[in-house]
Amino acid sequence: MTQQLTNRFVRERECAQITGLSRQRRWKMEKQGTFPKRINLGPRTIAWKLSELQQWIEDTAKAGYLANAK
């Protein structure tokens, strides 16, 4: 299996590394509907889908590029 899995769960620390955003900023953005929603895996365990984070990064980069191009 040489492909990287893109549809796996990402926990808090890895989510922060991938996005470069703090926990508080991501929480606020999630409440505003501008960041992927977390998934409850258990009573004290949350995660995000890696594929959703990658799509968010791509969409955010495109939106930033288009805003700067105007």
Report pLDDT digits (tens) over 31-65.
Answer: 999 999 999 999 999 999 999 999 999 999 888 75
Identify the DSSP state of 11. Answer: -
| Residue bearing the bigger pLDDT, 3 or 48 | 48
Which of 7, 18, 8, 4 minimizes the C-alpha distance to 35? 18
CA angle 32, 63, 36 (to 5 degrees): 35
* 38 vs 68: CA distance, rounded Å: 30
Overall average pLDDT of the 7-19 stretch:
95
